[in-house]
Structure 1
């Protein structure tokens, strides 16, 4: 591919087309999951060819990474929309967003679980799917922490909450709703105690 040909992908029109293609592929992932994801499947979902996708993306893994990032952002936006008044503390934030996490669209939850599974199964190839998850979620949780906490305490508490909520969501996924809900209640109680 010549430099001039590739350079036009960065034009406003090229950038808009890339975002349009990414949205179509993201919607396909939300419906069909990551199983059998390929550049050709993505091209069919986007109504184009795999060569067009390669013009806009560095390959299947780059496209997958960007689509999963977009799905995670959708989850974050849904959670933030549930918080009427920001600044109520970490416990209040977690209590408020939990119902949106357990009630969110099944496809979104499934794809994000599959992405984490890929990161664990083949970290050399899919490490970014896991790392980017923390990079997206931790700042949101840290922002909900009390202002008086140090940055290291905010980061530590946010990491603990993220890991714990992931565990509870997995418990619910395998059918142990009662244990997950009891654990969630205990988590909120501990957070309230830490904030008082």
Structure 2
């Protein structure tokens, strides 16, 4: 069994601790704990992640974490989602700098260097999360599905406002899958020149897609 398969230490079990009722004070405490665990993941990655390691990082006990979260898997999902929020925030900040909003191709081209050059810890954890989702789909598939739910709305917002919702979704799915493939290819092969060439082809395809306008209904 690989280290990735042992990240949360065995089959998930329902904790027998009372949950936080969602009071303002309890929610503030939950967010504080989540941020500390998220920061630990960004530095140390997912390998050997466990509830006890999370508790040490948060400066508390595993019982306290089980008061606010449903278990190690729930905590892991939420922490990874927070790291994706950081990636999305970085990308949106860059896209917002495009004068006049920019075209779809220009926005995608603007965020690409941010994805390629983002902090190593963030990129490593999100790559590991995708690997874990593929390794154990039944248990950790939500790590992958959650990524799509976070990224697709952002990519749809980049699309021309006159497009139909169906077309925005189709193109956003294409962009997401292609960028994922490029990032994975760079990680596995180290072929930066090949990835750059592929990305240039994606930008040209998006330019053509936008220039084509909205297809007429049959």
Instruction: Please report the TM-score for the alignment, with normalisation by the length of structure 2.
Output: 0.85
Aligned to 2:90: 78
Post-superposition offset of 1:176: 1.1
Aligned to 1:30: 42
Post-superposition offset of 1:89: 2.4
Aligned partner of 2:78 among 63, 66, 70: 66
Post-superposition offset of 1:87: 3.3
Aligned mates of 1:161, 1:170 — CA distance in 2: 14
Per-residue CA distance 1:52-87 (angstroms, 9 max, x = gap) = 100110000000000000000100000001121463
1:1-196 → structure 2 map (5 Å cutoff): 6=19, 9-83=21-95, 84-85=97-98, 87-174=101-188, 175-196=190-211
Aligned length: 193
Per-residue CA distance 1:65-121 (angstroms, 9 max, x = gap) = 000000001000000011214632221110000011111001111111111111111
Unaligned runs of 5+ in 1: none
Unaligned runs of 5+ in 2: 1-15, 212-218
Post-superposition offset of 1:14: 1.1
Aligned mates of 1:10, 1:116 — CA distance in 2: 30
Structure that is richer in helix per residue: 1
2:19–2:69 CA contact under 8 A, matched in 1 = no
Task: Name the Cα RMSD after superposition.
Answer: 1.3
After the TM superposition, which of the residue ranges 87-96 and 47-56 deviates more from structure 2? 87-96
Which consecutive segments of 4 or more residues in structure 1 shift more than 2 A? none
